[in-house]
């Protein structure tokens, strides 16, 4: 897999991730904790056959022998799954995605502090430019004084993601290119932990058939498939680059909510999103050409 192919696959991941906001706005009866519970439950149901197809009996072996890195990653996934959908029920899609866009900066700082990774000047510049765009968007929402509780909940997503990306990178580096700890089952553990913890808070369940159809699509296409892909990509892309490419979710998510859910972003939101997109483009265009990477 070449670097550009890995980048292209990561952009596909962000495209799938970005559907959550607009889909959540189609729900009729499910609200709050119930939305998060159903999405996590459907993600787990989708992951079981997917992982059995990919791993077979080795899946059970991986769950038994994965040790603390597998379970820690599962907790980080659960934190991301739970906080994201809960925040979407508390504030606008733009507010949630803007807050999540702190991910690259947090991941870069975590990677520099815990993995001792050197970051290229172009990457620092891209993070700075994206942060300016995010700050511009955030300032507009703060002036309105709306949805700040949802923003606080959404802040847990980039914190969990930064810790998870660095953990996955450390596990991949420790294997030195040899088969090591299989971290794919951590996504399943995260979905199960999220669903089990939120079920008491979501009870009684009120979702109708249409809500369940939308939430099941989120479980499969917005979480299960892209999360498996990103775990694989962590073996070929640096943690900070995965987080930076993930910023495309901000732009796409705001656009989908604008086009299909009637959530019109203001000029500052559009300008901030444009800066994020420019930062991504510059970071990738200035990247040196590299030989194919080993997956």
pLDDT digits (tens, 9 = 90+) for 185-239: 898 999 999 999 999 988 888 889 999 999 999 888 988 899 888 888 877 888 7
Distances (CA, A) of 8 to 1, 18, 233: 11, 15, 11
For position 140, what pLDDT does the model report? 67
User: In degrees, to the nearest 5, what angle opens at C-alpha 4 toward C-alphas 217 and 181?
Assistant: 65
- Whether 16 maps to a domain, the answer reads no
Six-digit token string for 157: 């997503």
Backbone angles phi, psi at 179, to 5 degrees: -60, 125
- Whether 136 maps to a domain, the answer reads yes
Mean of the per-residue pLDDT values for the chain?
81
- Using 50, 70 and 90 to split pLDDT, how confident is the model at 293? very low
- Whether 21 maps to a domain, the answer reads no
> In Å, how far from its chain's centre is CA 208?
27
Is 80 exceeded by the pLDDT of residue 162?
A: yes
- 82 CB-near residues (< 8 Å, 6+ apart): 36, 40, 194, 197, 198
Q: What is the mean pLDDT of residues 80-90?
A: 85
- Using 50, 70 and 90 to split pLDDT, how confident is the model at 294? very low
Of 295 and 19, the one with more pLDDT = 19
The rounded distance, in Å, linking the Cα atoms of 85 and 40 is: 10
For position 292, what pLDDT does the model report? 45
- pTM of structure: 0.77
For position 266, what pLDDT does the model report? 65
Q: Kindly provide the b/e burial profile for residues 169-189, where b requires at least 16 CB atoms within 10 angstroms of the residue's own CB.
A: bebbeeeeeeeebbbbbbbbb
Q: What is the mean pLDDT of residues 271-295?
A: 65
Q: Which residue has the tokens 């809500």?
A: 211
Helices within the chain (DSSP H only): 3-17, 20-24, 33-55, 58-65, 67-88, 93-100, 103-110, 121-144, 148-174, 185-202, 209-217, 225-233, 239-245, 248-260, 267-285
- Using 50, 70 and 90 to split pLDDT, how confident is the model at 289? low
Per mean pLDDT, which range of 43-52, 209-218, 286-295 is the poorest?
286-295
Per mean pLDDT, which range of 180-189, 225-234, 249-258 is the poorest?
249-258
- Using 50, 70 and 90 to split pLDDT, how confident is the model at 176? low
For position 197, what pLDDT does the model report? 92
For position 209, what pLDDT does the model report? 92
- Whether 294 maps to a domain, the answer reads no
The domain containing residue 42 runs over which residues?
31-285
- Whether 74 maps to a domain, the answer reads yes
Per mean pLDDT, which range of 13-27, 47-61, 138-152 is the poorest?
138-152
- In angstroms, the first-to-last Cα distance of the chain is 7
- Whether 197 maps to a domain, the answer reads yes
For position 145, what pLDDT does the model report? 61
Assign 233 to helix, strand or coil.
helix
The rounded distance, in Å, linking the Cα atoms of 37 and 168 is: 25
For position 73, what pLDDT does the model report? 92
Indicate the number of domains in the chain: 1
Is 70 exceeded by the pLDDT of residue 179?
A: no
- Whether 150 maps to a domain, the answer reads yes
User: In degrees, to the nearest 5, what angle opens at C-alpha 114 toward C-alphas 224 and 87?
Assistant: 40
- Whether 25 maps to a domain, the answer reads no
Of 71 and 274, the one with more pLDDT = 71
Would you say 45 and 223 are in contact if contact means Cβ atoms under 8 Å apart?
no
Among 33-37, 129-133, 134-138, top mean pLDDT goes to 33-37
Q: What is the mean pLDDT of residues 61-85?
A: 89
Region of 110 on the Ramachandran plot (φ > 0 left; ψ -120 to 50 alpha; else beta): alpha
Count of alpha carbons within 13 angstroms of residue 84, beta-carbon side: 31
* Residue 291 CB coordination number (10 Å): 7
The rounded distance, in Å, linking the Cα atoms of 88 and 263 is: 12
For position 180, what pLDDT does the model report? 63
Is 90 exceeded by the pLDDT of residue 72?
A: yes
């Amino acid at each position: 897999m070449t670097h550009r192919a890995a980048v292209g696959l990561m952009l596909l991941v962000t495209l799938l991730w970005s559907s959550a906001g607009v889909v959540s706005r189609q729900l009729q009866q499910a609200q709050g904790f119930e939305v998060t519970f159903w999405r996590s439950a459907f993600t787990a149901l989708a992951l079981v056959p997917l992982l059995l197809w990919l791993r077979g009996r080795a899946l059970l072996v991986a769950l038994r022998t994965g040790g603390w890195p597998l379970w820690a990653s599962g907790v980080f996934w659960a934190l991301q799954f739970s906080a994201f959908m809960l925040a979407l029920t508390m504030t606008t899609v733009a507010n949630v995605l803007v807050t999540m866009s702190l991910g690259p900066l947090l991941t870069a700082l975590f990677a520099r502090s815990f993995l001792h990774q050197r970051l290229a000047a172009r990457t620092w510049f891209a993070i700075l430019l994206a942060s300016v765009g995010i700050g511009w968007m955030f300032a507009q929402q703060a002036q309105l004084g709306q949805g700040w509780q949802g923003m606080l909940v959404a802040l847990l997503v980039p914190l969990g993601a930064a810790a998870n990306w660095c953990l996955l990178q450390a596990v991949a580096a420790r294997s030195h290119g040899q088969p090591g700890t299989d971290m794919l089952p951590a996504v399943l553990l995260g979905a199960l932990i999220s669903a089990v913890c939120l079920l008491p808070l979501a009870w009684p369940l009120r979702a109708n058939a249409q809500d369940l159809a939308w939430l099941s699509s989120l479980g499969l296409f917005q979480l299960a498939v892209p999360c498996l892909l990103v775990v694989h990509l962590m073996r070929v892309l640096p943690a900070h680059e995965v987080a930076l490419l993930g910023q495309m979710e901000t732009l796409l998510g705001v656009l989908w909510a604008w086009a299909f859910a009637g959530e019109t972003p203001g000029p500052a939101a559009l300008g901030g999103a444009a800066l994020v997109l420019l930062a991504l483009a510059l970071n990738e265009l200035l990247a040196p050409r590299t030989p194919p990477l080993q997956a």
